[in-house]
Each structure stands twice: as C-alpha cells, then as structure tokens.
C-alpha cells in the first residue's frame, strides 16, 4: 500500500529546487537571495554521505553475515560425517542466539552511554530499541545499520568457538555458553576499545576490525572450552596423535572462500564511513590490503606445509593459512603497504600451520584449527600494528596524543586474554558441573547426529 | 573502446562547476547570478538519490537472485541422492524460465498501464523493452533496476513449488507449470497489490515484501501440485508415514543461510528507495527486524522440536523454522519493534514445525516442507500486519484513508488463495491429462537422475 | 582508536554549509557572495559521484571475487572424488597467485603509462603501490577500487585453465603457469584494449567486459594445456570415449549459480561508473541483459541436449549452457535488446553443448567443458558485437571515428588467440621438459588427492 504511493511520489524528491527560469533577465538581489536560500537548503539536506555511510554498514553487514555460512561450511567439512548434521545446525542456531543476545543486552553494553570502574564496565545493559526513522542521526549513519553491522561481528566470535569444541560438546551447554559470550563477555571487551573505554584511553590500543576484540576473544573462549571439555575420545594415545580427517574437504574449501569474501565487509566496512573521498579511498585500500593479507597467508602456509610434509600440500592447512592471513591483517588493514600486507598475512599463515602440532603436544584438541587461526594470528596481527604507527615500544605521548605501541598492544592482548579466559572458564566449568558439557563416550562414538539431532547428515552414502 | 574514453573523461563530470576564482573582489550581480545558475544546474542534475535508489534494487536484486541457489541447496539437501542431480538442474532451469516469462509477459502484466474488471486484470501483457538510458526516469530509479528486482521475486515464487513436488514430478510438465505461474498467475496477483489494483484500493491490503504475494502464491501452487501429483511411492502406508530422509543435511544448512542472506535484499530493497534519510533509516531497520524474525523462527522451532522429540533437535526443522520466521516477517518488516519481530518470526517457526504432521495426516507429501514455511507462515505474517496498523478489525476509513485491517488482510489472503489454487489446479490437471505430470513408478524407484537427467548426482559414493 | 574519533566527528562532515540564518533581512551582495562561495565549495567538493563509482568497483569486485568460489564448486563437482581435494585447494591457491602477480607486475603492465612497439607492449612492469588516500583521483574513483576490480578479473582467467587440465596436472607446474598467465600473458592482452593499446586504436576492437580478453584468454591457455599435457589416462580408447562422470553434480550446480551471481559484477561494474543517470541506467540494463544472456544459454542448451539425448536433459550441459550464455553476452551486454540478449546467449548455449563431442573427436580432454564455454562462446560473443554497432564488415571511419566491425573483432580474436597460444605453448612446454607437468600414471590412478595433497576429499564415504 505504502509502496505504491512511494512509487508515484518519489520522483519529486529528486528535484528539490525549482527548474531554471531560462532567461536571466532581472538579476535582482531579492530573487538571487531566494534562489540561493533554496539551493542552500537543498544541499544542506542532502542525505548523500549519510546514505553512503549507511550502505557501507548494510552491505558490509550482509556479507559478514554470510561468514556464518562460511564457518558452517568450513567446520562441517572438517568434522567426521557422523557429526556433520549437528555442526550444520549448531552454526545456524548460534547465529540466532548471538543476534538475540546482542539485541537483548550486548549492543548497549558494548557501546554504553556511561561506564564505571574507569571505563572497564558499561552501565547500560538494556534492550536496543532502534532509532528514529525520520531523523538524521548525529552519528552520520542510520542507527539500525550500525546495530546490524556490530551484531554480525559478535556472531563471528561465537562461530570461532563452535569449530574447536566440535564432535563432543552437547548442544544445550554450547548454546548457553554462546549466549553468555555474545551477551556479556564479548560486549565487555568491545566496550574497552571500540566503545571508547579503558584500553582506548589508557593505552592507545588499536584494533581496527577486531584481530583481538573479535578473533582472539573467540579464540580464548575456544581454548578454554577445549581444555575443560577435553579432547575427542581416541584422539590422543600417549604421545600418539590419531588423525581424524575431515569428511568433506570441498565444503571446507567453499567455506574458506565465503569467509575470504565476507572479510571485505569485515575489514572494509570497519572504516565506518564511506561518504568522503578519504573514506572511500580508505575502504578501497582496505579491500586491496585485506586481499593481500590472505594471499600472503595462503602462499606462505602452502610453502610451509610443502616443506614440512615432503612436497605434499595439505589442503586444510592452506585453507587455514588463508584465514590466518586474514585474521592477521584485521587489526590494521589500512596503514600497511600492499607488500607489507603480504608479509603480515604470510607470517599469520606460517603461524596457523606451526601451531597445530604444538596444540597436539599439549593434547588440546581443536577440531578445525580455530585456535591457531583466530587466537594465535589474532595476537600476531594485533602486536604488529605498532609497526604501522612509528614502532613505539611504550605508549609515549606526542603532541598531546598517546601513541599506539608494542607494549600498549600487548596490554590489550593480555587484558582481553585474561578476562575472556577467566570468564570462559567460569561458564564452561559451571556448565560442566551442572548440566554437563560433553556427550557420553557412547554418544560420541555413535556421532552427535544420531544422539543429539536424531538424523544422519548423509544417510544415503556413509560408510563410516 | 567506449571504456577507455570513459576512463579519461569521467573525472570531468565530477567537477561540473568552475573552481572558485579565489579573490572575491567584485561581487557583481551578473557574476553572482551566473555562478548561482551554474550551481543550481549542478545541484538539480545531481543523480545522487537516483543512484542510491537504483543501487538498492541492483544490490538487493542480486542477493535475492542468489536465493535461487539457496533454494537449490536446501532442496537438493532434502531429497534422496537418486534425485539430487534432477533437483539441481530443475532449480537452474526454473530460474531461467521465470526470467524469460517475466520479460515476455509478466512484468507488464504485474505493473500494467491500465486495468479492467475493477483492477482485477492488467491489459498490457507485452514484452518489456527496457527504458531510456539517457533520461532520468520519473520513478526515481533506473528502469531496468526495477525490472531486475521484480524478476528475482517471481523466481522465488517458482522455487517454492519445486521443493514440494520433488522426487516424482517430471521435468517438462514442471517447467510448463513454472512458465504459466511466472508469466501469468503470479503477475495477476502482484497487479492487485503492488500494481495498485483491487486489493490495494478496495481493502487497504498491505504486504510489504510479499508474504502473500510471493510466498503464499508459491505455497498454494505447491499445495495444488502435491494434491494432484500425489505423494511419492511408498511415502504413506495406511496411517503409517515412511520417513525418506534428505541425503545432504549440510547442503540444506548452507541453503538456509543463503536464503537468510538473500532475505535482506528481499525485504530491505522492498523499501523501494534509499536516497533520503527516512528511506535509508527504514532499510536499515528492515535489515535488523528481518534478522530478528529469523532469530525468532530459529529459536522457537528449535525449542518446539526439542519438546516434541524428547530433547533431540531435528536440524531440518530448525532450518525450516528460520525460513518460517523470515516468511512471517516479510509482510511487515518495518513497523514492528525488534522484540515484536522475534515474536512474529517465532510463531512462524512454531507453525513451520507443527504443520508438518498435519500435512502427513492428509497424505500431502511436501518433500522439503515448503507448504508449512511459505504458505502457512505467509498467511500468518500477512494477517498479523494489522497489529502494526492500529489493530483494526475492519478496513475503516480514517482521515480519508482506508486502514489496513485483519479482515482486509484476510480478504487478500483468501482472494490470492482462491485464484492461485484454481489457476494451479487447471494447469496441473491439464498437464496430468495430456503429457502426464509424474514419472512412472519404475522411474521413480530408479530415481529421477537416471530416468530424466541421464547421470547420477554422486556416482562415486552412493550406496542407496 | 581512530574509529572512536571518527564516530564522534563524522556527523560534522554531513553539514558542510552553515545553517540557514533564518530571517532574510539584508540581502547584501557581500553576504550573498560569501554564502554562494561556501555553497560552491560544498557542491564542488561533494564526493557523491566519486563514491558511487568506487562502490561500483568494490561491490562488483567482491562478487566477481566470489566467482573464484563458483569455479571451485563447478570444477570440484565435475572431477572424480579422488581429485576433489586437489581441485578445491588449487582453486584457492590460484586465486592467491593471481592476486600476488597482478600486484607485482600485472596491473601496471595492463594499464601502462607508456608503451612501445606501436602499443603492443607496456613499459611499466612495476609493483602497484596504491594511491593517495587523501586526494580525489582524476580517474573519478578510488585508486585501489580499480586495482581490486581488475585483479578479480585476472583471477577469473586463471580459474578457467584450472578446470580443463584437472585430474592429471601436477600442482607446482600448474601454479607456475598461473603465475606467468596472470603476471604477464593476460596483462599484455588487456593492455591492447582496455589499456588503450593496439587493438583499441587500430581496429576499434570492442570487448566490453572481456569475452575475449578474459574468457578466450583463459580458454586458449587451457586448450594449449590440454594439448601439451594430454588426456587423462583411460579417457580415450581408439575412437571410444570413456565417460568419467563428475562426482558431485549438486556442487557443480551451486557453482553455476555462484558464477551467474558474480557475473552481474563482472559485466555490470564494467560500465566503470555509476554516478550519473546514464551510467546507473546502463549498469541496470547490463544486469537485465546479462541475466537474459544466461537465460538464453540455459534454455537453448537444455533443448539441444534433450534433442541430442532422446529427451534426457544432461544437467552438466545445462550448467555449461548457462555459463556459455553469460560468456557470450559479456563482450557487449549493454547495446542489445533483451530479446537479442536471449538469442546471443542462446547461441552460446548451443555452442557450449555442440563443441564437447568435437573436442572429444580430437582427443582434447577438457574435464569441465571450459573450452566450449569460455573459448568458443568467447569468440562468438566477441564477433557478434559488430551487430550492435551498425553491422560494419570492415572498420570504416565515420565522422572521424573508427567503427567497430566484424573484421576488427575477428582481428582481436585472432591476435589474442595467436599470442596467448604461443605464449602458453612456450610455458607449458618449458614446464614439461623441466619439472614435468603431469602426474605419473600411478599417481593419476590413485588420485591427485593422495599423491599431491596427502588426504582424501571424502574419506568417510568414498567407494571409488
């Protein structure tokens, strides 16, 4: 109903100023003044930049949303077929839980109107209720576009945990952990930095799109989960590591590409504005650098795995290398040159490969390699940010502005790590001693699909 | 060739007004007037809103286009492996048929220049021939951007039918039905409402993005198909329902996410404009509400299935719950609050789960659950729109404007249902008694892949 | 850190002109002049078109980037399961190699500042180092947005080769070939036309989005690869062709849809600008025509295969028909009518089907049908461009401008073919006689996954 009306009247809004009268006969002041005033109003009321900024959040937001599908494909491809339906479903549900909790408490906690404890805790944990549709927000973009963009980030953090603890965690405790992570833990971390809190003001901590805030947060939560839940039955015999190969490598490859695709929104739209020359130039450069980070991660991981495995190139390591490169460039995807982006991502790719055997040594069973990719590369990417801002060791003040530094970055990494780890341990442990966190050995052997989902992922052709 | 020229000259268009002359020495009227006129022309000819609106259709359009891939994944994942190649191909071809027919007759029938029978039938069923590339369309957006956006909607309606009648319908009759649905049946329904026809003017019927016009239309056509074609051989034995589990649950999960992703275009771009503050604020709020509708559908469906199936959570029901939530919020994704959106979607999720056994009771064999999701949730979403517009029971007139009401919404639902059902029955029946609509029992047992496509979907690893 | 600051100050940029002073008391010239000057500066500095153009490249670019995933799905679906992990990984790595090489040399070679040999060779093969973030580029768009958009095109050309030579080429020689193709061969071809070189100036050659420059270039390189590497072991016995069916048809279908989706960016953003009415109208029309090209390809291929195979419709032929239609419309997706687009694409669809047995006759083993789709349809699409520009046989000059003609188009096709073929033969042959290009028969039988990747694609359910 409203649509038809809009169809008919919209054209009018496009021509806010009266057409030129043609002959310029009498150039009278009063006439000139009226025309000028009309023009001023037209220009001043232009929503052009406002629309450009909002589009950045909306388009960036939906492609980050698709990263949830990318995580699903990656994780489902890397679990055994008897857990594939569970993993598929868990990824859909966790995205829903993350959105629900971020609406209910998370968003206002992450971007609080006021804080206590020196910026450590926001004090507005209330439901986010949308903005005024008629008014131009002072922020320079549509209010809901920001909510949407921030929401898909919290879902990313939750997706990271899902992969690590796969194949043995039970559905309900996982969902409860997800709810706490997305409603409380993640928002607190975000409030310290993007919310303008402690890390931002006291340490000039810099994390452009979330190597630490999103990826390490997810990584620490995953690590604590892996420690408390324990490895899959049969994964480790003494010093022997029993490989449990993923059941659908092409699906993992598709997931990798979808995540790479979504990362342009993740990093690009984190510029937060696109309506000026500098902003759109920056968004474009972020796209290019983000791609080069992934390029570096892919190529370096490929070479590393070829060296380690006598010429054979482990596909899953290459996929994780690409993702490790992306995580690494996320903390600062604008300042580095294209070549530096290749190197930053490349180191990430190497770390993603080398961390895997170390985790196995400690019998930390990370099904999809999320800890190497998101936690280790997240730390690396965050620390190296200081190289783009004058290589300061300590956060010195120059011209009255505190400088980003290696120590400042490390403080941010550690504070996040300590807080997320403690909070995660509390929640995982509480779940363990109440409803329990892992399936029985019998259920695990049968597969989570049979025991938790009640159907098989691939009933027509599973031999396993 | 033209591209190079464009590369070199484009910059000029960006600076349509002469640079400032610097010193503001003689402020003469004539000079001022000339500068003002130049500026007026520059501002008046600005395409900013026009571009913003067109971008909404183009970007929204391509992600709705990707929903065709989402339907393909969902349906292929939910059929048995012996029908998976057929289902893949059918989804590609139906998208092509929909585009062809909507160009040939559909678009001009849906948005007719003139109507007869009190707005019930458009009278311009001619080929759509594009717009003037040089001129700014009065509609406020590029003409082809609207054609494109409307076209991907009709493909959605056709995709709905494809899932319900899978695993036994023959290819050619299905394609003929698709051609009639997309070229004639759907356009007539759309003309009543978005085309400004009967339902819009007489009942203040409101269906923002198509819970009824797109989803129920597809749903009614699917229901009639299921009734006339009959259930799959062996599906029902007396009162017993023989489960025929889907062969690739992860693919169905991916399809669910792709559909969820595409829905931001489906609902968001149905705002039809993005060039003003109110429009872009609204698009953003629609994104947020659409997500919350899906969140509600997912979570409520999960809880419902857990209650029904003793703690186990049926993955396919969760997927359909998400989609049911999305269909439910589609009729009015702007007016409800975020919390109301969760509830509207949540009821949809419950309906999507509860309708399945009812259909089975009547031996209506809907392979993918499209009737619960698109028809039942489409009706629910359409009726509840009245709650956002003053809870009027009847379409009363206030300040000269007819109000959206429960009865008005019901009339729209019923008129659409009656018309689409009768038209579908006629077409399906005509096909049944001429070229036949379903494969022989022998062909069905062998699988449609062997009998209709001539190759297997998964030749290397099918046991079934 | 910078983000918070941006959040707080961004609003200001939206209101560059002082608010209206209200009462229009004294309309003095000096005052008017100041207001006019302020307004002029505001309008002149508006980034609106600049942002619109850059968005076209960025959004178009990411969806073309996703075509890499589409190629992966298509190719993985069409190889046997024992080569599926290799094919997945190869597609990720080739995209990385393409980006790396295009940064290192390709981009500046394709769009050189100066040329030698009458425009045949650019002379600036240096690293692309980004643009000035603060300045508005004279080109009318963000510099990095163009780099990004051009980079995803070169990746497309590389993806084409990957499918043809699948199942027997070794990883490292393939990657070296990819590096040469994307760093040198493709950029030289592009420089002749989009770079404003020989073909553009001497023959008025016209190739809007790359039927020849991208698709035929990839196709010729693939053809030479197939000839030099030879067919898969067991594919041809005397005159008998041994079918080696693809292992995952639904994945190939998904790949087809993803490619179709990406093509809207491929063709649409090749308009290179979107900030004016004519440009955005053109982008929209290109979307519509591109879709109709694919529609024609799909439907014509379906009918052709049904006729050839006694009513059965080969799904893989339908997928390739859609892609053949897309390649065919790529050389000129704006000028033809919607109906002409159906026909142009339709002929492409028929060619895609009919070329397959011809290749088999010559024992050219093209695993996925990339040569029919990209080379043959690329040639067809390029030649038929002349029909949209006055049907000139020879490149006559009218009003001082050289006209696009059939002969001119043919010259472009042939020059590209000769150059790419010779260059490819040199590289493939050099690889053959040094590190070798194909796996041993034993490795080929075991599958590339085991021999090159060291893991299986589908370990839980492969029978083959």
The C-alpha atoms of residue C190 and residue A456 are separated, in whole angstroms, by: 50
Yes or no, beta carbons of B247 and A458 under 8 Å apart: yes
Sort out which chain B residues have CB atoms less than 8 A from C273's CB and list them.
6, 10
Interface A–C counts its CB contacts (< 8 A) at 265
Sort out which chain C residues have CB atoms less than 8 A from B65's CB and list them.
260-261, 264, 291
Yes or no, beta carbons of C142 and A312 under 8 Å apart: no
User: Which is nearest to B134 in space by CA: C334, C207, A20?
Assistant: C334
Stated as kind and residue range, the H or E segment containing C59 is: helix C48-78
Angle at A68 between CA A63 and CA A71, to 5 degrees: 120
Highest mean pLDDT among B116-120, C106-110, C285-289, C397-401: C285-289
Tell me the shortest Cα–Cα distance from B363 to chain A, in angstroms. 22
Question: For chain B, what is the mean pLDDT?
Answer: 90
Residue ranges of alpha helices (H) inside A27-142 are 29-44, 48-78, 84-101, 107-110
Sort out which chain A residues have CB atoms less than 8 A from C460's CB and list them.
80-82, 247, 458, 462-464
Sort out which chain B residues have CB atoms less than 8 A from A50's CB and list them.
277, 280
- Is A39 a domain residue? no
Q: What is the pLDDT of residue A238?
A: 87
**pLDDT single digits (tens) A369-401:** 999 999 999 999 999 999 999 999 999 999 999
Yes or no, beta carbons of B280 and A145 under 8 Å apart: yes
Q: What is the pLDDT of residue A462?
A: 63
Stated as kind and residue range, the H or E segment containing C115 is: strand C115-116
Sort B398 into a burial class: Cβ within 10 Å, 0-12 / 13-18 / 19+: exposed
The C-alpha atoms of residue A331 and residue A298 are separated, in whole angstroms, by: 18
Yes or no, beta carbons of A463 and C461 under 8 Å apart: yes
Domain hosting residue B97, numbered range: 48-111+148-453
Average pLDDT on C256-276 reads: 96
Whether the pLDDT of residue A23 is over 60: the answer is: no
Sort C257 into a burial class: Cβ within 10 Å, 0-12 / 13-18 / 19+: buried
Sort out which chain A residues have CB atoms less than 8 A from C59's CB and list them.
59
- Is B141 a domain residue? no
Are residues A333 and A209 in contact, defined by beta-carbon separation less than 8 angstroms? yes
More confident position, B143 or B17: B143
Q: Which of A31-35, A414-418, B429-433, C363-367 has the lowest mean pLDDT?
A: A31-35
Average pLDDT on C424-431 reads: 98
Q: Tell whether ipTM is more than 0.90.
A: yes
- Is A411 a domain residue? yes
* Cross-chain CB nearest to A134 (options B247, B268, B278): B278
**A23: helix, coil or strand?**
coil
The C-alpha atoms of residue C411 and residue C397 are separated, in whole angstroms, by: 17
Sort out which chain C residues have CB atoms less than 8 A from A32's CB and list them.
27, 32
User: Which is nearest to C274 in space by CA: C40, C130, C58?
Assistant: C58
Are residues C229 and C437 in contact, defined by beta-carbon separation less than 8 angstroms? yes
**pLDDT single digits (tens) A137-192:** 989 999 999 999 999 999 999 999 999 999 999 999 999 999 999 999 999 999 88
Yes or no, beta carbons of A282 and C133 under 8 Å apart: yes
Stated as kind and residue range, the H or E segment containing B182 is: none
Residue ranges of alpha helices (H) inside A79-216 are 84-101, 107-110, 143-164, 171-180, 186-193, 198-203
* Whether this model's pTM surpasses 0.90: yes
Under the banding of pLDDT at 50, 70 and 90, the label for residue A1 is: very low
**pLDDT single digits (tens) B386-422:** 999 999 999 999 999 999 999 999 999 999 999 999 9
User: Which is nearest to C147 in space by CA: C106, C208, C175?
Assistant: C106
**pLDDT single digits (tens) B310-325:** 889 999 999 999 999 9
Yes or no, beta carbons of C281 and B132 under 8 Å apart: yes
Q: What is the pLDDT of residue B42?
A: 76
**B401: helix, coil or strand?**
strand
Domain with residue A166: its CATH number is: 1.10.3430.10
Tell me the shortest Cα–Cα distance from B158 to chain C, in angstroms. 15
Report the b/e string of A53-67 with b at 16+ CB within 10 A. bbbbbbbbbbbbbbb
Whether the pLDDT of residue C27 is over 80: the answer is: no
Q: How many domains does chain A have?
A: 1
The C-alpha atoms of residue A161 and residue A158 are separated, in whole angstroms, by: 6
- Is C137 a domain residue? no
Interface A–B counts its CB contacts (< 8 A) at 263
Sort out which chain B residues have CB atoms less than 8 A from C461's CB and list them.
461
Yes or no, beta carbons of B459 and C250 under 8 Å apart: no
Which chains have at least 3 CB atom pairs separated by less than 8 Å from chain A? B, C
Whether the pLDDT of residue B382 is over 90: the answer is: yes
- Is B461 a domain residue? no
Q: What is the pLDDT of residue A156?
A: 96
* Cross-chain CB nearest to B51 (options C268, C274, C339): C274
Are residues B198 and B192 in contact, defined by beta-carbon separation less than 8 angstroms? yes
Which chain B residue is nearest to residue A14, measuring alpha carbons? B49
**pLDDT single digits (tens) A329-341:** 999 999 999 999 9
Whether the pLDDT of residue B64 is over 70: the answer is: yes
- Is A30 a domain residue? no
Yes or no, beta carbons of A139 and C11 under 8 Å apart: yes
Question: For chain A, what is the mean pLDDT?
Answer: 90
Under the banding of pLDDT at 50, 70 and 90, the label for residue C117 is: low
More confident position, C236 or C14: C236
The CA-based dihedral angle spanning residues B411, B417, B419, B425, taken in that order and rounded to the nearest 10 degrees: -160
Q: What is the pLDDT of residue A260?
A: 98
**pLDDT single digits (tens) B224-237:** 999 999 999 999 99
Are residues A94 and A180 in contact, defined by beta-carbon separation less than 8 angstroms? no
Strand partners, C241: C236
* Cross-chain CB nearest to B62 (options C208, C261, C294): C261
Highest mean pLDDT among A121-135, A224-238, B28-42, C18-32: A224-238
Q: What is the 3-state secondary structure (H, E, C) of C427-462?
A: HHHHHHCCCCCECCHHHHHHCHHHHHHCCCCCCCCC
Tokens (6 digits) for A177? 């952990």
Which chains have at least 3 CB atom pairs separated by less than 8 Å from chain C? A, B
* Cross-chain CB nearest to C54 (options A284, A295, A458): A284
Q: What is the pLDDT of residue C20?
A: 31
> What residues contact C239, with CB distance under 8 A and at least 6 apart?
none
Which residue out of A17, A42, A144 would a mutagenesis test of the B interface target, given it has the greatest number of B Cβ atoms within 10 Å?
A: A144
- Is A219 a domain residue? yes
Q: What is the pLDDT of residue A349?
A: 98
- Is C441 a domain residue? yes
The C-alpha atoms of residue C255 and residue C249 are separated, in whole angstroms, by: 10
Yes or no, beta carbons of B462 and A457 under 8 Å apart: no
Give percent of chain A above pLDDT 90.
78
Residue B364 is given by DSSP the state -
Stated as kind and residue range, the H or E segment containing A119 is: none
């Amino acid at each position: 109903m409203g649509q038809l009306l809009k169809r008919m009247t919209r054209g009018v809004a496009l021509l806010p100023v009266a057409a030129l009268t043609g002959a310029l006969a009498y150039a009278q002041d009063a006439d000139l003044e009226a025309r000028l005033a009309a023009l001023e109003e037209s220009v001043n009321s232009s929503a052009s930049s406002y629309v450009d900024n909002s589009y950045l959040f909306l388009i960036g937001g939906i492609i980050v949303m698709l990263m949830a599908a990318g995580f699903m494909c990656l994780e489902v491809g890397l679990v055994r077929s008897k857990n594939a339906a569970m993993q598929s479903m868990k990824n859909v549900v966790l995205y829903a839980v993350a959105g629900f909790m971020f609406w209910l408490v998370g968003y206002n906690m992450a971007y609080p109107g006021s804080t206590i404890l020196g910026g450590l805790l926001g004090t507005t944990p209330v439901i986010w209720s949308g903005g005024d549709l008629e008014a131009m927000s002072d922020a320079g973009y549509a209010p809901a576009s920001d909510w949407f963009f921030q929401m898909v980030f919290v879902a990313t953090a939750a997706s990271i945990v899902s992969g690590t603890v796969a194949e043995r965690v039970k559905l309900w405790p996982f969902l409860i952990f997800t709810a706490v992570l997305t409603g409380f833990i993640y928002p607190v971390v975000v409030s310290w930095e993007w919310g303008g809190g402690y890390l931002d003001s006291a340490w000039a901590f810099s994390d452009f799109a979330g190597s630490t805030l999103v990826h390490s947060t997810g990584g620490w939560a995953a690590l604590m989960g892996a420690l408390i839940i324990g490895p899959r039955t049969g994964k480790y015999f003494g010093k022997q590591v029993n490989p449990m190969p993923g059941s659908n490598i092409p699906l993992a490859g598709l997931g990798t590409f979808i995540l790479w695709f979504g990362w342009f929104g993740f990093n690009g739209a984190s510029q937060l504005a696109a309506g000026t020359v500098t902003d759109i130039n920056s968004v474009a450069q972020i796209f290019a650098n983000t791609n080069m980070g992934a390029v570096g991660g892919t190529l370096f991981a490929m070479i590393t795995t070829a060296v380690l495995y006598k010429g054979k190139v482990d596909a899953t390591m290459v996929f994780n290398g690409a993702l490790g490169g992306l995580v690494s460039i996320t903390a600062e995807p604008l300042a580095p040159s294209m070549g530096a982006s290749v190197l930053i991502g490349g180191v990430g790719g190497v770390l993603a490969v080398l961390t895997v055997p170390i985790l196995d040594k400690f019998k930390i069973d990370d099904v999809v390699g999320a800890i190497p990719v998101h936690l280790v590369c997240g730390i690396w990417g965050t620390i190296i940010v200081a190289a783009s801002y004058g290589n300061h060791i300590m956060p010195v003040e120059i011209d009255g502005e505190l400088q980003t530094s290696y120590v400042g970055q490390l403080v941010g990494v550690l504070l996040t790590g300590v807080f997320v780890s403690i909070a995660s341990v509390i929640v995982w442990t509480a779940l363990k001693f109440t409803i329990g966190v892992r399936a029985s050995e019998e259920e695990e052997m049968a597969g989570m699909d049979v025991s938790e989902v009640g159907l098989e992922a691939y009933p027509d052709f599973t031999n396993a």
